[in-house]
Homo-oligomer: A and B are copies of this chain.
């Protein structure tokens, strides 16, 4: 084993290997669920070093598995170390060069370890927008975003990470480097290999660099809260906004009464509709890129017109438009602090689910009613991205459970109720967080044997020795 560490050191430099206590921050996950230690944490600097590390690991007898890791902000144990697979944890945060920015082509080529925030900044410095936006963007890396096909608040307009990527460079399980850094928007020359690696959670290869799409930066936005009587009306309001504003509608975020009251309490925000705290609320953002002030005025007039009409028709009760940049930020803080507010009141059971937009309201009604039957007084905290059909459907202790232990003891049963309804409504048990370790047993239950078999065939064909992130997504 010492020989192996020496060889690793000769590839990446001995100062870029972590063992024992120094390794601990890397093998403790964001939600503090997984802790097993790897043989070593290795921090290569570039693609060539990554490839050499892979070749070295594969050449060991028995071979040593490789677990790729970005900013270690994942929520499902996708970069956790497994006791039954002696592994090297390959952290990519030092593989972080910005290789190219092409303003006229609206692309940038960055290495996997660049943080999302840094990528956003670079785009901004060139007068462009990299639209992916997540709570963990200061730490999460582009490689991790791609491996998990991360979502966030701007998916409605710009798509998931998958949709923002034109090309990849990947170190394959045999140590070969696939240079697929395509910068073209149209390229129909054979199988689109990048989509295999995006969202594969590092199980098919190690993403080392990517070509990202950039967009014109919005010049201004209209930010508003609307209040409705229920989730059916929220969906109706979404459809109205979508129809009128199309791609200018850049966010439509639902907040349930429970979630809104919680975040206002915990962070001393004024409730946007203080006289109607049982309202179902949506945070709406409409953006425009024109530098003409007439265009912004026309947007506001149009919004006011449609909101007034909706109030007359009865599916919106009230609306409030932010009057300044500061107020816009305050509106967004309310949305963004919901998770932190939940953390403050103790452990909770998270569900990152999606259903067709047309099924959202029924799904929530039926699921809440089933949970209520089993756990009287249960009050799920629900918020999410209406335009993506993506809800964060979380259960805190509340009045329903005597203490945190009682809540966590019910986790599997609660998951079963929620995921059964997700399946009834043709939804997904992981809209944006991935499968990792946390949900792989659920995946085995819920996916068809044909689909599971297809996934296994692909895994086996690209990684026949099962060396790259073994035991994630799929049981082998």
In the complex, which residues 101-159 of chain A have their Cβ closer than 8 Å to any Cβ of chain B?
102-107, 148-149, 151, 155, 157
Once the chains bind, are B104 and A186 in contact (CB under 8 Å)? no
CA distance A244 to B290 in the complex (A): 5
Copy number in the complex reads: 2
Indicate if A65 sits at the interface (CB-CB under 8 A).
Answer: no
Indicate if A426 sits at the interface (CB-CB under 8 A).
Answer: yes
In the complex, which residues 199-232 of chain A have their Cβ closer than 8 Å to any Cβ of chain B?
199-200, 204, 215-216, 218
Q: Which of B155, B180, B215, B243 contacts A216 (CB 8 A)?
A: B243
Interface size class, chain A: 35 or more
Segment at the interface with B among A20-28, A273-281, A428-436 = A428-436
In the assembled complex, the CB of A375 is this many whole angstroms from the nearest CB of chain B, namely 26
- Point out which of A179, A245, A357, A429 has the most chain B C-beta atoms below 10 A from its C-beta: A357
Once the chains bind, are A198 and B192 in contact (CB under 8 Å)? yes
Once the chains bind, are A358 and B198 in contact (CB under 8 Å)? no
In the assembled complex, the CB of A173 is this many whole angstroms from the nearest CB of chain B, namely 11
Q: Which residues of B contact A102 (CB under 8 A)?
A: 356, 358
- Point out which of A148, A192, A426, A432 has the most chain B C-beta atoms below 10 A from its C-beta: A192
* A302 closest partner in B (C-beta): B292
Indicate if A332 sits at the interface (CB-CB under 8 A).
Answer: no
CA distance A149 to B190 in the complex (A): 10
Once the chains bind, are A186 and B216 in contact (CB under 8 Å)? no
CA distance A400 to B461 in the complex (A): 51
In the complex, which residues 420-460 of chain A have their Cβ closer than 8 Å to any Cβ of chain B?
426-435, 439, 443, 446-448, 450-451, 454-455, 457-458, 460
In the complex, which residues 344-361 of chain A have their Cβ closer than 8 Å to any Cβ of chain B?
354-359
Indicate if A176 sits at the interface (CB-CB under 8 A).
Answer: yes
Q: Which of B299, B388, B473 contacts A186 (CB 8 A)?
A: B388
Indicate if A160 sits at the interface (CB-CB under 8 A).
Answer: yes
Q: Which residues of B contact A433 (CB under 8 A)?
A: 188
* A291 closest partner in B (C-beta): B244
CA distance A198 to B188 in the complex (A): 10
Once the chains bind, are B216 and A104 in contact (CB under 8 Å)? no
Once the chains bind, are A428 and B162 in contact (CB under 8 Å)? no
The answer to whether A447 and B176 touch (CB under 8 A), given A183-B356, A183-B426, A246-B216, is no
In the complex, which residues 455-474 of chain A have their Cβ closer than 8 Å to any Cβ of chain B?
455, 457-458, 460-462, 473-474
CA distance A427 to B182 in the complex (A): 8
Q: Which residues of B contact A462 (CB under 8 A)?
A: 454, 457
Q: Which residues of B contact A172 (CB under 8 A)?
A: 450, 454
In the assembled complex, the CB of A68 is this many whole angstroms from the nearest CB of chain B, namely 16
CA distance A187 to B432 in the complex (A): 7
CA distance A179 to B447 in the complex (A): 10
Once the chains bind, are A390 and B294 in contact (CB under 8 Å)? no
- Point out which of A160, A458, A473 has the most chain B C-beta atoms below 10 A from its C-beta: A458
Indicate if A341 sits at the interface (CB-CB under 8 A).
Answer: no
Once the chains bind, are B305 and A298 in contact (CB under 8 Å)? no
Once the chains bind, are B454 and A193 in contact (CB under 8 Å)? yes
Once the chains bind, are B289 and A298 in contact (CB under 8 Å)? no
In the assembled complex, the CB of A315 is this many whole angstroms from the nearest CB of chain B, namely 13
Give the B-binding residues of A (Cβ under 8 A). Answer: 102-107, 148-149, 151, 155, 157, 160, 162-163, 172, 176-180, 182-193, 195-196, 198-200, 204, 215-216, 218, 235, 239, 242-248, 288-292, 294-295, 297-299, 301-302, 305, 354-359, 385, 387-390, 426-435, 439, 443, 446-448, 450-451, 454-455, 457-458, 460-462, 473-474
With A178-B450, A178-B451, A186-B428 already in contact, 13 other A-B pairs whose C-beta atoms are closer than 8 Å: A106-B242, A184-B354, A186-B385, A186-B388, A189-B430, A190-B473, A216-B244, A246-B247, A248-B248, A295-B299, A295-B302, A457-B461, A457-B462
